[in-house]
Chains A and B, each alone.
Chain A
């Protein structure tokens, strides 16, 4: 297995850990953290392809990751603010109970 494949396996396993957490945990904060893990997995992919790709000197992978980290920071801030708003509404943060928008 080449190092690139190893990196990709790492990132996909991390992605799946995040995914399972998002799908199965009821706590809104943990769901958000799962999303963060998935984003991190994507970043690992970028770096891996930058490192082993054909044009490492262009640096686009690195720059994309920087932007992605910035977006993740924004996401975390808004997400956790949402969690606090949910908490204020229903006095807990169980996602399965936050169903007021259903049809």
Chain B
């Protein structure tokens, strides 16, 4: 079990790190798909199958496509830009800040005695139970998130649409 987790972690972290370091955005996006798929594998490992499938559908299937479209629409696929001095200094400060956060987090995790429920038994949560929870106690949240998605999609359409078009024919 632990061995599988370590393998998955290596996959997730490795592809994420390489993706973030590459200069060709297409490769980054493809590597990130691998990383997301690895995270879905982690969910499967942890026994949350439904979340794993949601992860695959939404991240590996949908968001990756949106990213690739954005890369293509903004013509970022080829011709990486030259490295400026500005960006080197930014990289160093970024690394320092990120390293600081990592140090604090890891120190906290490793230094804290975490009580672990008897591991080994994977909790099972059927899709049916999940559905009952979503439609029962969490109905309001479900509705809000639905509304949020609708509004954000409308917003995305408005943002991405070309403003320089002719006057719309709204009124008769």
Contacts and interface: CB of A to CB of B under 8 A. Distances in A.
Contacts of B95: 20, 23-24
Contacts of B39: 40, 43-44
A77 B138 CA distance: 24
Contacts, number: 229
Interface string A24-47: 111101101110110010011001
Nearest to B157: A81
Contacts of B97: 19-20, 23
Interface of B: 1-2, 5-6, 9, 12-13, 16-17, 19-20, 25, 28-29, 32, 35-36, 39, 42-43, 46-48, 50-51, 54-55, 58-59, 62-63, 66-67, 69-71, 73-74, 76, 81, 86-87, 90-91, 93-95, 97-99, 101-102, 105-106, 109-110, 114, 116-117, 119, 122-123, 125, 129-130, 133-134, 138, 141, 145, 148-149, 152-153, 155-157, 159-160, 162
24 contacts: A3-B5, A5-B110, A7-B5, A7-B46, A9-B110, A10-B9, A10-B12, A13-B9, A16-B105, A17-B13, A18-B16, A27-B25, A47-B42, A47-B46, A47-B48, A47-B51, A50-B46, A51-B123, A57-B123, A62-B48, A69-B51, A78-B159, A82-B159, A92-B74
